[in-house]
Amino acid sequence: MTFLESFGDRLRRAVDRRRSQVLLGLDPHPAVAGGGTNAAEAFCRRALEAAGPACLGVKLQLACFERYGAPGWAAYERVAREAADMGLLVIVDAKRGDIGLTSEAYADALLRPPADAMTVNPMMGADAVEPFIRAAIAGGRGVFLLVRTSNPGARDLQDARLSSGEPWHELLARKVAEWGASSIGGSGLSAVGAVVGASAPDRLARLRELMPAQPFLMPGIGPQGANPDDLAAALGDHPASVLVPASRAVASAEDPRAAAESLRDRLAALRPGK
């Protein structure tokens, strides 16, 4: 039996090696990439080539491939493979979530090479999330559970005030910490991460307090409005605790490499709680 490094430990090592917390967001929407599977795939390859070296990994938006049916799915697999071959971490943004056997089927579809981790929607609770976590641990992979997203509509349900006085997403954050407790590696990072929108410093400090071992996947930088400096409150003991996807901000920049490097350097300069 070979020793399988946990996702948290692998993530920390990858951040140390690549000296970057930036995830190149590959969201080949027709408006930016042009329509069709070939255009989507070519867009991703160009972005990888231009900005990949300044990044820790990629965050692939599966919807943009799925819309092209079976050929789109095959294109997703090729792009993910290419990113992995470049030494990049591969995170599939799929936001799946269902019960028991169905979650197992989704995990089987997505938590396998070349993917290192996927996003999961936890609304259905423990028995919906567990199959993903089990598959992640068994394969040395990770899951990122939605906790507090970055879109305006997040207020509608995630911020609902509970009878305890706390917002609903803090109850969810407690659950995520509990579900992730058994997969904390020597690095102090769990294989169970959290998707936390990059805004509202007060909220970030509280969520870090509730989820000390969770790597945070933090969308919302750039076009969605947050400033990289706002993320200091979310930092744990190691830079691998904060991962920042950037798609339009990098891929559509005049010089994608320079844009990725600039974001990388700003994140590297952050200090916890500042």
- What is the contact surface with its own copies in residues (CB under 8 A)? 27, 29, 31, 61, 63-64, 66-74, 77, 93, 95-103, 105-106, 108-110, 121-129, 146, 149, 151-158, 160-163, 165, 168, 171-172, 175
Distance (Å, whole) CA 33 – CA 75:
14
Nearest to its own copies of 125, 273 (CB atom): 125
Nearest to its own copies of 61, 241 (CB atom): 61
- Least distance between its own copies and beta carbon 11 (Å): 23
Residue 175 annotated in active site = no
- Least distance between its own copies and beta carbon 269 (Å): 29
User: Exactly one of 59, 95, 175, 274 is catalytic; which is it?
Assistant: 95
Residues 6+ apart with CB under 8 A from 116: 7, 10, 57, 84, 89, 90, 91, 141, 142
Q: DSSP assignment, residue 238?
A: S
- Least distance between its own copies and beta carbon 68 (Å): 8
Residue 127 burial (C-beta neighbours within 10 Å; 0-12, 13-18, 19+): exposed
Cα distances (Å, whole numbers) of residue 249 to 5, 22, 62: 33, 11, 19
Nearest in space to 117 (alpha carbons), one of 39, 2, 217 = 217
Nearest to its own copies of 224, 262 (CB atom): 224
- Least distance between its own copies and beta carbon 167 (Å): 10
Nearest to its own copies of 66, 229 (CB atom): 66
Cα distances (Å, whole numbers) of residue 216 to 202, 211, 234: 15, 9, 8
Just list the catalytic residues.
Answer: 95
